[in-house]
Every structure is written in structure tokens, then in C-alpha cells.
Structure 1
């Protein structure tokens, strides 16, 4: 069995060891147990209880940090551990099982995740090889000739390996590659020569300062959202690895040796990473925005995503989440429609939206904030700020006006003004019905059968993709063509 530090987030494995609480003695107050990891669940089963804890503590809602040392000699830090199950056996061994939110393998240094502890973070994702589509093998000669030479040069990337400066975060993002050759024992026995290539990203500070694991982890998750949006498929982490500052040791003969110190974080991932990876491998052309589509704009696109992360995340996150987990078609529809409406609120300013009541509304809100008890303010503010369906209709009309005509025609067919208004009424009525769940008879154009609603959801998803991708700086003509290609 490989050690935990070499394991992937897509693996399932167990770690046997001794476990103890911070501040207690590893040798005298530790408990034997097994840490079990799978992409969907993490548990720690202990044979016995920690010193000063009893099985009654299983009702205690407070979470624990637990340290561990495995039978392979690796250190562990388990965070946010909650007692989940206890089994009292007489005769036999009493056991208690903790649900573990996530853990670090290879260190006990990460007790305060907000502290500046690490130099960089390297990470890879499923389907990343399809996105980072560059090659390191050069061919001299032709197949079928007497001489064919293949040269492996990790520095000669087809597509140009990039170093991106994420200035809004004062971070560098580098594209990296690692490969390993497995040679046959005898070249004439038909054995395989394997080239194992691993593509990954690495975040580090522009100033070479140390960074906190929490900050890097959150930034990596935000980058995954962007890549999911670009590719159009779910992407799952293969690993996230943090590098600590090197330590130095002097040997008995006076030599100074420098040691590198890494750790990996393990956490549960929603969805099915294996199904997603197989689907994309079966259809490489299904990638929505290719890496080469970004060309010289790649750095500005990535930086723009992080600059407006708070707003873009509110728009795109619900839609992106639906790519990872199965969802009811009604919820998927509402998420997409909400994304379109929120995009308009944040990024489209239309003279038509100037409301003569705005100044009066501001006066009423000021009165509420100054005179109504805080506990009751939301009740009145929501009513003052309520926008009726006419506002939503106007937003949809604006959005349809901004989408390229060819894309609208491919999605909905040729439409005259009356047909376009009917489509907008359908979108509005369907949104209102599934939001309020009141009398369906109030909504003349509601779509209620799953098949038609699924088609409408997919059509509106394309509009949301168009707006999000063009907003972060991708050439609108490129986005339009790639969406048309996929629809074809």
C-alpha cells in the first residue's frame, strides 16, 4: 500500500495508527484506531476513548482536532472531528467513530489554517490533461521508415507553458508538468515502455512570502469554478499539496542537509469523479473553451475572474454546482434563471431601468433603518425593495438583445416580436410558479412537464455561459462559435 502522502483524493484507503489530542502525550495518552478515507466520507474509528473523554461525550456537539502517527511513520492532523457512533461491547473492545471534515497527511503543523505556514500549493484535477493540451514528445522521422527518433523534452511545450500573474490576489499561477519513464527489462520481448505524464498547477506568492493553507485552499476552489465554467464539465481534485519552508539538518560529520516538507489535504468531494472523467475522455472535442482559445488573454481572463469573484460566484456557483450533483429539473431551472437575473443586476446598466421612485424608496429605507427595531427591519425592507415581474421581463428583454442573433436562432429558432414576448412570458411564468408554488392557473405560460423544462433549462444555460465567459474577457466571437459548435 502506498503511503498516505502519495494517495489521491480519488482513492479509497485506510491508515492504521495511534491518535491523540493536542496537548496530550502521544506515548501515554494515545488511542489506537483506523482512519478511513473515501471520496464521499472520512471517518476515524478508535478502540477506546481519549484520556478525559467518555462515551457520554458523543452527545457533545463541539468538534475536535486530532493528531495521528501512522504505522508507516506519517503524521496526520484531523480537523473538525465530531463523534458519530459509539459501540460498547462486553466482553470485547469498546469503539467510538468520529466523522472527520478533512485532514492533512504529512504534518502536524496545520492547527491554525489561517497562519502563514506554506510556500506554495500544487494541485491537479480530473480532466486537467484535456484542458492543458500540450505535448512534450518530438518526433524525428516518419512511421514505417528504418529510423524513428522520439525526443522527450519537458521544457518544450506545444502550446507554451504559462506563468500567470493573478495581480488581484498577489499570486503566481504556474503550469507545471512531471513525467516518469518505465522501461522494459528486455526490449525485444514485447514489453511496454510507459511515459506517465502528470500536469498540474502551482500557486505561490508574488513576493515569495509564506501563505496560509486556508487562503490557498479557497483560491484553488475558486479556480476550479473557473475551469469548470471554461470546460463545461465537472472537475474533481486529484490532489492538493502544500510545501512548507525547507528545514536544515547537520549530520554527525558536519554536512548540512536540506529537507523538503510537504503535506496533502484530504476532503470529501460531491459527485462522481470517475464518471465525469470517462465522459470527457470519450469526447475530447466536448470541451467548451479550449486553452488555446484564450491565447494572450489568458492571464487577464484569470485575473478578471478573481477580481470579481464575489459577484461572479453568486451568478455562476448554483449553475456550476448542478454539474456535480444530480438535481431536480425545477431547481436547475431556477438556478439558471436566477443567474441570468443576477448577472443583469450586477453588470448591465440600462437607461430603461431608471426608476423615478428610486429617491422615494431610498427615503423609506432610511426611515426603516432609523426607526424600526433591527429584528423587524428585513420584513419591511423586502417589501420596499420588491420588484415585480415587469422588472424581470425587462431584464430578459435586455439580455436577449445582447445575445448574438445566430446563437438565439440556433437555440430558439427564428422568432418575431410576438413569439419572443411569448418566450419571455414562458420563462417568467415558469420562474414565478416554481418559486411560489401557488395556483398554477395564475400562470398562463408555465412549463411543467420535465422534458420541456429540461430543454428550456439547457437553452438558458447557454445564455448564462455566454454572458459569464464574455464578461471575464474572452472574445465574444470565440465564445459564440464554441457554443454554436457544441449545439451542432
Structure 2
């Protein structure tokens, strides 16, 4: 396991040795110990205990631990809780903590919740592979079997872009930096290009770490549309007026999947797409969070089907007119019935629980069936993709049976009834996977349409041979 240095990321294991103490104590009374970071767990092992072992209040649950590392860095551990404690007599006591987040700086760190952040920089592990823009040119000379590398600061600027977000209170930038190192003197030069994002806070309103997490999730959700999954956070640096802090936190690592959109096709319109995304974010947030969280699963199970069908239902609620057709005198009749119900309650003919039951029945205006919602979502698909997904002959009947099957399957999986009650329920795991993939494909198409992507771009990317839905379009 490597030791902490300025180049470690949230996707690597590393450790730090140093002195550790509670906020009410000081470094002179610190305890020697080792902090271990992995993407899925942060732990601190101390050669001693903060408080007397016999004191039953010895815990720092949901509190802060400060540290000072062997390489001279100040460390702040947030949301810590004790997992193990021993008091060896004679001998040295031991204690272990699990930690949710850690922060590292060359200066002492005050309470994270009190920081006034002016800028933060972050990156995602998959982004550099997807974003193929590069100012580096490799020139090959096949006759001499040699190669040379060209790049300039001007060409580097060409892949830097920035625009205002969050009602013009922040500047959101995509940036890149080229690093060089010589191997064996000057005989071999190695160049690498690292892409990252930067957000500057333009408003005078205090911007906290909690605000930062909200924006980071939002940006991650935006790019998850292109990748079809939650992205792994690679690095995060926080800046105040006087300090730079590196942040590390526990995260579940998302499984690698094929990207949905080709960068070379849409990169010129990303700013426009993001502007539309900002306006639609409140409506899409539930869908994106559920959809992206599916990428943390190691395999397919029925919960993924349930989540995906739910997401299509959410989409219908947000963007389709799902109000049921009501009788012309519905309001008049409803008020009359509620009046009668009030009289029965006043006359003690019914009790409060009975009143509540019948009031709910009267106020219930009828929910559109799941199959209706999915069927109307499917109607929004481009014609070319409708043909690919449902064929051209007897398509109306095919779609109707498909939607009934989705409703029967969801009800069978969530209600616990006998499968015989649901004639079109899917019980075969392979068939359920295929149908879930089709639902996910439909949802992706609808999201991209809401972000105003050109229909030809959607069709080309969704149905391409190396895309995530090749099984739907090229499986025999």
C-alpha cells in the first residue's frame, strides 16, 4: 500500500502515519496511529485510547478527529465512530475507528461545516477516456521507425471551456493539464493529459461543503446520462481564500459499462444540453439517482426491473398528462358525499377511523394504470427506434402486450400473490433481463429527448453496434 502523497486519488489505497487527537485536546497529547484509505473503507488504528478504557462514554461517534502526519500534513477526519478498543495491562491499549470522510491540507483545518468555499476542482475516472479532445499530436515516421510529440499552450486552450450555471452564481469549467517526465535522462519523454472540472463560486453568499456535495452530485448525474451509470469520483480539491484542501470519501465503485453517447458527436452541444438539464433537473433527479445507483450492483436481479419500471412511471408523472378522465359532475358529487360523511361523524354513526377510510375512498380520483403510462412513454420514441424495438407489423398489439406484461410482472414481484393471478408476468430470469434492458433503453431515449438532443444523434448512438443496447438490436 502506497503512502499518501500529492498524487494519490480516491480510487487508490494509501496510508498515513501520524499523531491523532480530539478537537478538545491538542497535538502534544496526540496518540500515534495509522490511517488507511481504500475507496470502500477508511479506518484509523491508534496505539492507545483517547479516554480511559473504564469510562463507558469513551466514543467519538459522529465527531471529528484531528491528525498531523509524518510528512507534515494536517488531517481532518469527519463522521468517525469507534469499532474496537482494548486496554492491555501491562501493555499498550489499542483502538480502531471507521471514518466517513478525510481532508488533508498543509495548514490546520477548521470545522469542515464552517468552511467558506470559493472554488473546487474534481475529476471522474471515466471522463478522460470518453472526452477524446486532446492537444497532443503524435507524429509517426514509419520509414525511420521513429515518433515525435507536438503540443502547445494554444492547442491546450482549445479544450478549455467554461460557462455559468446555477442561475449565474457559479462558473463551471472543463480544463486539462499536460504533465511531462523524462525516462532515462532525455532518451524518452512521457506525456500525459489529465482532464478535470473546476467550479468557481461567484456569489457572496457563503458556500459550504454540503452545498459542494449537492453540486458534485448534480454534475455527476449530468454525465451519468452520457455514460449510463454513476461515475466514480477520482479527486476533489477544495479552496478557500487562504487554503487548499484535498478531500477523500468512501464510495461504492460503479461497474464499467459501455457509454451511451459518443463524445465526438455531441461535444459541441454539451453546453446547450447542460443548460436544458439545469431546467429539468428537479424533474429528472429521482430517475437519475435510481438509474445510476443500479451500476453499483454486481449482477442482474428483479430489483433492477422494479426500479426501471418505476423510473418510467416517474417520467410519465413528470412529463405526461396522467390525469384520469372524470365524470362531468365529479366535484359536485364528491362534495355532496363528503358532506354526508361529516354528518355521520357528527351523529357518532361512524368513528374517526371509519371516517378516514371513506374520505380517502371519495377523494381517490383514480390512478392511471402502469401499462397506460409506459404505453404513452413508448409513443414518444423516434419512429426508427420504434421499428427496431417493436417491429413494424402489428406493432400496436405488440406494444400493448409488452406494457401489460410489464404491469403484470411488476405487480407479481411487489404484491406477493400467486403468479397465476398475472397472466403475462415474466418469471424467466433471461427474459426479465431482456425486458429490463428494453425499458432502460426507452428511458434513456426519453431523457435524451427531454434534453433536446437531435433525433438523428439519439438514434445513431442508442442503436450503434458497440453501444450498451447492442443486445436489443443485433441479437439473433
CA deviation string 1:166-208 (max 9, x = no partner): 1436211111111211124455xxx532102211111112347
> Pairwise mapping of residues 242-321 of structure 1 onto structure 2 (< 5 A)?
242-246=238-242, 261-271=243-253, 276=256, 286-321=258-293
Aligned partner of 1:334 in structure 2 is: 306
**Aligned residues, how many?**
453
- Give 3-state SS (helix, strand or coil) of 2:295's partner: coil
Alignment of 1:88-127 (within 5 A): 88-106=87-105, 108-113=108-113, 115-127=114-126
Query: How far did residue 429 of structure 1 move?
Result: 0.3
Alignment of 1:406-425 (within 5 A): 406-416=384-394, 417-425=396-404
- After TM superposition, list the pairs within 5 Å mapping 1:24-63 onto structure 2: 24-28=25-29, 30-51=30-51, 56-57=56-57, 62-63=61-62
Question: Who is 2:320 aligned against?
Answer: 348
Q: Is the 8 A contact 1:297 1:473 kept in 2?
A: no
Given that residues 22 and 66 in structure 2 are in contact (C-alpha distance below 8 angstroms), is that contact kept between their aligned partners in structure 1?
yes
The 1:427–1:410 alpha-carbon spacing in structure 2 relative to 1, beyond 3 Å, is: same
Whole-Å Cα distance in 2 between the matches of residues 18 and 186 of structure 1? 39
Aligned match of 2:19: 18
Aligned counterpart, 1:250: none
1:461 and 2:433 are equivalent in the alignment: no
Q: Please say if residues 21 and 67 of structure 2, whose CA atoms lie closer than 8 Å, have aligned partners that are also in contact.
A: yes
Q: Quote how far apart the aligned CAs of 1:101 are.
A: 1.1
Distance of 1:291 and 1:361 partners within structure 2? 57
Q: Which residue of 2 aligns with 1:255?
A: none
Shift of 1:382: 9.7
For 1:409-454, what per-residue CA distance to the aligned partner results, in whole angstroms no more than 9, with x for missing partners? 2223345132222111101101111111222111000001111100
Spell out, residue by residue over 1:141-183, the C-alpha distance to the aligned partner (whole angstroms, 9 max, x if none): 9654799764212431597432122143621111111121112
Note the alpha carbon deviations across 1:24-62, whole angstroms, 9 max, x for none.
Answer: 22213x22211111111111112222246756336x684
Q: Distance in 1 between matches of 2:64 and 2:364?
A: 44
Query: Once the 2 structures are TM-superposed, how far is the Cα of residue 473 of structure 1 from its aligned partner?
Result: 2.8
3-state SS of the aligned residue for 1:308? helix
Q: CA RMSD in A?
A: 3.4
TM-score, structure 1 as length reference: 0.82
| Match of residue 455, structure 2, among 455, 459, 476 | 476
Deviations 1:242-270 (A, max 9, x none): 12223xxxxxxxxxxxxxx3111111111
For the Cα contact (< 8 Å) 2:229–2:293, is it kept in 1?
A: no
The aligned counterpart of 2:383 is 405
TM-score normalized by the length of structure 2: 0.84
For the structure 1 residues 88 and 468, does the alpha-carbon distance in structure 2 shift closer, same or farther, using more than 3 Å as the test? same
| Residues 271/437 of structure 1: CA separation in 2 closer, same or farther (3 Å cut) | farther
CA contact (8 A) 1:166 1:299 kept: no
Cα contact 1:133–1:291 (8 A) shared by 2: yes
2:428 equivalent among 437, 449, 468: 449
Assess, with a 3 A threshold, how the Cα gap between structure 1 residues 225 and 167 changes in structure 2: closer, same or farther: closer
Q: Paired residue for 2:173?
A: 174
Q: Offset at 1:287?
A: 2.7
Whether contact under 8 Å (2:227, 2:260) holds in the other structure is yes
Structure 2: runs of 5+ lacking an equivalent = 346-350
User: What is the deviation of 1:476?
Assistant: 2.9
Report the equivalent of 1:251: none
Q: CA separation in 1, counterparts of 2:416 and 2:310? A: 16
1:66 deviates by 0.9
Q: Which runs of 5+ in 1 are unaligned?
A: 247-260, 281-285
Superposition deviation, residue 386 in structure 1: 8.1
Q: Which residue of 2 aligns with 1:193?
A: 189
In the TM superposition, what is the alpha-carbon distance from 1:326 to its structure 2 partner? 2.5
**For the Cα contact (< 8 Å) 2:334–2:363, is it kept in 1?**
no
Map 1:204-219 onto structure 2 (within 5 A).
204-207=200-203, 211-219=207-215
